[in-house]
Amino acid sequence: MLSNYREKIRQILLYTAGSLAAVIMAFAITAIFLLLVGRDPVAVYGGIYQGAFGDSFSLSETLVAATPIMLCALGVAIAQWLGMMNVGAEGQLYLGAIGATFVALNCSTWASWQLLPLMFIAAAICGAAWSFIPAVLRVTIGVSEVIVTLLMNYIALLLVEFLIHGSWEDPNNVSWPQTAAFSAAAELPHFFGTRVHLGIVFGIVIAVVFAILLPTTKIGFISRVIGSNRDAAQYAHYKVKRYQLWAMIISGAVAALAGFSQVSAIEGRLRSGLSPGYGYTGFLACWLARHNPIAIIIVSVLIGGLLSGADSLQLSAKLPFATVNILQGMIFFCLLASEQFIGRLARRNQSSK
């Protein structure tokens, strides 16, 4: 019993060290790139830090960027806990935005206490329905949910374009295609006069709930068994396919809340370019956090800081926003490399016993 506990602690420390090493390596490689284009990496990274955490305004903007990342990352994690790979958080975000927008446009005369819960529910249902499709294909005929969720992201983007160029287009708008502005009742509450909104509370509450449920409940135990060893779960007569189906449905519903929070609290309408890739960034945050719900909160804030700092970087260092995208890409590549290295090390240790 004690040896198993020690082995678990060792694995946690090993994977945590792997994530940290991946981040450090990514910053180092990006620093070389910056040197090659004639920029001082220390000054650039310092500018990102100041833009992300330098003052109260910067911190609030970091939390704004972290909110959809957190919700998308939690959605990805829920599927991953049961051995499913949800790469469709971006599309589920847009479906959540569509569901919330439908309610906001058609119930604009309702009071806030009626409208916001209905927008919340509509967004979650749309995201759940969108993730239900790849889930059913996976558990019934074995189609890869990775491919299906990835391709459905592009369908979701085109669906938004179809709506905002069609029946939902604001007739009074003559420039950027978008819907009419939501009523004041459709706006999520903000905190302390900043753009930080109730959506971040959704993410924190969901993360804490799952952090409690996973290690302490029967369904949490079953989820861990299915995620770690599908064959053992089937041998124990667990309904693996049913659990995985529900995991994907809940995963899509949670990711869709990111879309609801964006259209309600930030944009006040549905438009193209609603997300600069929050779903994909959430996937990165989930893997950096090793699918741990509490760690996802921390990692999401840090990545949100990168995005927030990138905006000020364009002004202070005259560098494009793509600089941070390069850094994120390097983090992901280095993380994959660390996964491979740790996996080989674990297999070598297992074979030597």
The band of 82, judged by pLDDT with boundaries at 50, 70 and 90, is very high
Does the pLDDT value for residue 124 go beyond 90? yes
Q: For 213-222, 238-247, 304-313, which range has the lowest pLDDT when averaged over its residues?
A: 304-313
Percent of the residues in the chain that have a pLDDT greater than 90, as a whole number: 60
Percent of the residues in the chain that have a pLDDT greater than 70, as a whole number: 94
Q: According to the model, what pLDDT value does residue 294 have?
A: 94
Q: According to the model, what pLDDT value does residue 94 have?
A: 97
6 versus 105: which is more confidently predicted? Answer: 105
Does the pLDDT value for residue 240 go beyond 70? yes
Element (H, E) at 64: helix 56-80
Q: Which of 115, 117, 123 is nearest to 99 (CA)?
A: 123
The band of 204, judged by pLDDT with boundaries at 50, 70 and 90, is very high
Q: According to the model, what pLDDT value does residue 352 have?
A: 64
Q: Per-residue pLDDT tens for 142-188? A: 999 999 999 999 999 999 999 999 899 988 876 788 999 999 999 99
> Which residue is it, tokens 């074995």?
142
Does the pLDDT value for residue 6 go beyond 90? no
Q: CA–CA separation, 297 vs 316, rounded Å?
A: 28
Q: CA–CA separation, 47 vs 80, rounded Å?
A: 35
Does the pLDDT value for residue 346 go beyond 70? no
Does the pLDDT value for residue 345 go beyond 60? yes
The band of 293, judged by pLDDT with boundaries at 50, 70 and 90, is very high
CB-based contacts of 67, cutoff 8 Å, min separation 6: 196, 197, 199, 200, 203, 258, 261, 300, 304
The arithmetic mean of pLDDT across residues 265-279, rounded, is: 92
Residue 104 class from Cβ within 10 Å (0-12 exposed, 13-18 middle, 19+ buried)? Answer: buried
Does the pLDDT value for residue 307 go beyond 60? yes
Does the pLDDT value for residue 121 go beyond 60? yes
Q: For 31-45, 206-220, 239-253, which range has the lowest pLDDT when averaged over its residues?
A: 31-45
312 versus 159: which is more confidently predicted? Answer: 159
Q: Per-residue pLDDT tens for 7-43? A: 667 777 777 787 888 889 999 999 998 898 888 888 8
Does the pLDDT value for residue 353 go beyond 60? no
Q: CA–CA separation, 313 vs 49, rounded Å?
A: 10
Q: According to the model, what pLDDT value does residue 161 have?
A: 94
CB-based contacts of 180, cutoff 8 Å, min separation 6: 105, 170, 171, 172, 173, 269
User: What's the pTM value of the predicted model, to 2 decimals?
Assistant: 0.92
Q: CA–CA separation, 27 vs 179, rounded Å?
A: 40
